A and B are shown apart, each in its own frame.
Chain A
């Protein structure tokens, strides 16, 4: 039995989530979190955001979908908001969530 538990723990993944600009002020800079295999991008962010009502409402609409202006990245590549439910998280991924950019 203990071996089974040890195996379960091994399967737990570690993911880094980075928020920027206004979202950083709401959630913090870098969050290292565990995720179970099969966790989707949107599930992971919801798990973090649900602890912070103001932050949740900044990112998600009343239907629980990402607000249309929110930009998502996985390992430096943009992810379409509509694909966030089917994009699975892998061990060691770096996830980023941020508002529209305003450089220049």
Chain B
């Protein structure tokens, strides 16, 4: 079930059919995203909220290859909608300096039933981890350390 909302484009983000795909420094109102996800045909909403873990760090710094990362997030959202029959998908990935406990990645999906919503959400987070050009650096009192990626794919082909 697709919303009839018109498509509007803003810098670094896309609104399409009630969906929001963005890479941004500021936080987002998850409650508002949930309300927007309550579309006709939706019977389940799954929220994934990845936050900065307290691993004896002071802050976390995130950076992205923004132009490419936004396009890849849009592609992942469309794939997830098609594969898991989702009504709506929101993906907001934050960049910049974040303190322990702050939101890093918020994924909100709605679907007709729980199975599709859970599986769609899982598909999106795994696809982001596998290939979207975003990096994290843990800032500690002794300096900083880049978080190693989970996937080695210098072959140019992201592992899905």
Contacts and interface: CB of A to CB of B under 8 A. Distances in A.
Nearest to B137: A21
A68 B146 CA distance: 18
A73 interface: yes
B67 interface: yes
Contacts of B69: 103
Contacts of A76: 67-68, 71
A101 B68 CA distance: 13
A70 B153 CA distance: 8
Interface size band for A: 20 to 34
Interface stretch (B25-33, B34-42, B124-132): B124-132
A49 B137 CA distance: 23
B105 A103 contact: yes
B139 interface: no
B6 interface: no
A103 B132 CA distance: 7
A20 interface: yes
Contact of A73 (B68, B130, B147): B68
B133 A101 contact: yes
Given A21-B137, A79-B156, A100 B68 contact: no
Contact of A20 (B65, B131, B148): B65
Pick the most buried of A71, A72, A76, A103: most chain B CB atoms within 10 A of its CB: A103
Kindly list the 10 A-B residue pairs having the minimum CB-CB distance in the complex, ordered from nearest.
A100-B149, A103-B134, A78-B156, A21-B135, A80-B156, A102-B147, A102-B149, A104-B129, A104-B128, A68-B154
Interface of A: 18, 20-22, 24, 66-73, 76, 78-83, 96, 98-104
